[in-house]
């Protein structure tokens, strides 16, 4: 039986390749073996994503990020010491995407014609169909000047989130709060001018509402859960969820355990002891469906290997290929075949076609 198509709206592929030094052409088992005993990253030996596992899960289209945070003095998290260094890091990440594309492992998707061609190959069950990727920038600290954003757009950038964690150059992110200010408004204006998709994930509450006031173009939340289920500023309130959907946006549901269930303690809690599972992912989907009366604004945005691995994700997921367990779980929760197709891929495609039209 043919596996259903799945589209993942948020994967940090180049970060894993360039900063984590993972060769995604290997299997996850090989990557884990190489990393055995390493302690420089909390998820060493626990990776879940490789090209092979994506193909095994019939995930042949994703939104793939570049990410490089500027660490201002006093910033609570690590990063680069200047915007220019952050820019250079995204150059390395982009070069990796370009090299993998040259070797036919992945394929850039930057417009409707490329999307249609890729979907046609996928529909025809072409085993040689590479992973299609839409390029996104997570956090805008690497945008040294607005001219740099024009360069990124010319190179295929199609989505951008203004902030990541902490206070950023253009907006405030997770675990901080504040106004986007003049620089933020100038960035938002340029994003709208370029028709980039605005990713409101990670925006602090104040920055979130200011961004929505300024931006009139397409928007989504590539990987965010519900604050009513996990009470943390990283998640969206019901009011924010309703506003995103009123603006025609879609929300990707992630698989980082601390965002799925309350009271998760990093590097202390475990999937086995807490019981966190893919069913909790569906809890967040259910909440959005009940809140809005529709399944039409949910997509998958796993964030797998986004700084965490099997030590901090659902206990019933070993690799990203296990997303194929979702259809059965959704059926058991009362979702019909059209709902499931929409959640796995259809809602994303409807949004992206409208955004690019």
Q: What is 157-182 written as a DSSP string?
A: EEEEES--BSB-SSSB-BT-----HH
Q: 36: domain CATH number?
A: 3.20.20.140
Provide the number of structural domains found in the chain.
Answer: 1
Structure confidence by residue, pLDDT tens digits, 274-318: 999 999 999 999 999 999 999 999 999 999 999 999 999 999 999
pTM comes to 0.97
User: What pLDDT does residue 124 have?
Assistant: 87
Query: Does residue 349 surpass a pLDDT of 80?
Result: yes
User: What pLDDT does residue 76 have?
Assistant: 78
Structural domain includes residue 330: yes
Query: Does residue 329 surpass a pLDDT of 90?
Result: yes
Structural domain includes residue 102: yes
Structural domain includes residue 156: yes
Q: Please give the residue range of the domain that contains residue 190.
A: 7-356
With beta carbons less than 8 A apart as the criterion, state whether 233 and 175 touch.
yes
| Residue 174, beta-bridge partner list | 165
Average the pLDDT over 63-83 and give the result: 91
Query: Does residue 95 surpass a pLDDT of 90?
Result: yes
At 58, list the tokens. Answer: 């019939």
Task: With cut-offs at 50, 70 and 90, classify the pLDDT of residue 1.
Answer: low
Structural domain includes residue 1: no
Tokens 């009513």, located at residue: 228
User: What pLDDT does residue 3 have?
Assistant: 93
Task: With cut-offs at 50, 70 and 90, classify the pLDDT of residue 129.
Answer: confident
Structural domain includes residue 142: yes
User: What pLDDT does residue 264 have?
Assistant: 97
Query: Does residue 127 surpass a pLDDT of 80?
Result: no
C-alpha distances out from residue 220 to 21, 88, 89, 104, 173, Å: 30, 27, 25, 29, 16
SS3 220: strand
Q: How high is the mean pLDDT of the chain?
A: 96
Structural domain includes residue 236: yes
Percent of the chain whose pLDDT exceeds 90: 94
Structure confidence by residue, pLDDT tens digits, 206-257: 999 999 999 999 999 999 999 999 999 999 999 999 999 999 999 999 999 9
Structural domain includes residue 2: no
User: What pLDDT does residue 125 have?
Assistant: 74
Structure confidence by residue, pLDDT tens digits, 8-59: 999 999 999 999 999 999 999 999 999 999 999 999 999 999 999 999 999 9
343: region left, alpha or beta (phi > 0 left; psi from -120 to 50 alpha): alpha
Structural domain includes residue 68: yes
> Among candidates 225, 143, 157, which has minimal Cα distance to 186?
143
């Amino acid at each position: 039986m043919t596996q259903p198509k799945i589209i993942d709206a948020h994967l940090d592929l180049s970060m894993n390749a360039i900063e984590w030094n993972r060769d995604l052409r290997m299997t996850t088992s090989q990557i884990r073996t190489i990393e055995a005993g390493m302690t420089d990253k909390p998820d060493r030996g626990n990776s879940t994503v490789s090209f092979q596992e994506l193909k095994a899960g019939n995930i042949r289209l994703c939104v793939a990020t570049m990410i490089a945070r500027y660490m201002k003095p006093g910033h609570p998290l690590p990063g680069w010491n200047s915007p220019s260094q952050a820019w250079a890091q995204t150059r390395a990440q982009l070069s990796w995407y370009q090299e993998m594309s040259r070797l036919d492992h992945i394929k850039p998707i930057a417009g409707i014609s490329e999307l249609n061609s890729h979907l046609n190959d996928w529909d025809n069950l072409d085993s040689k169909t590479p992973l299609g990727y839409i390029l996104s920038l997570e956090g805008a600290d690497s945008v040294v000047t607005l001219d740099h954003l024009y360069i990124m757009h010319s190179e295929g950038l199609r989505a951008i989130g203004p902030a990541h964690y902490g206070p950023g150059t253009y907006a405030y992110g997770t675990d901080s709060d504040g106004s986007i200010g003049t620089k933020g408004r100038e960035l938002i204006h340029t994003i709208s001018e370029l028709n980039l998709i605005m990713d409101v994930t990670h925006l602090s509450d104040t920055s979130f509402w200011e961004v929505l006031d300024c931006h009139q173009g397409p928007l989504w939340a590539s990987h965010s859960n519900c604050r009513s289920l996990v009470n943390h500023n990283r998640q969206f309130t019901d009011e924010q969820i309703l506003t995103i959907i009123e603006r025609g946006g879609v929300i990707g549901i992630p698989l980082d355990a601390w965002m799925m269930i309350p009271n998760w303690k990093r590097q202390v809690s475990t999937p086995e002891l807490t019981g966190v599972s893919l069913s909790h992912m569906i809890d967040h989907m259910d909440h959005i469906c009940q809140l809005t009366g529709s399944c039409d604004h949910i997509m998958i945005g796993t964030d797998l290997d986004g700084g965490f691995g099997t030590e901090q994700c659902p206990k019933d997921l070993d690799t990203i290929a296990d997303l194929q367990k979702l259809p059965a779980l959704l059926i058991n929760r009362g979702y019909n075949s059209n709902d499931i197709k929409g959640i796995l891929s259809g809602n994303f495609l409807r949004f992206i076609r409208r955004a690019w039209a």
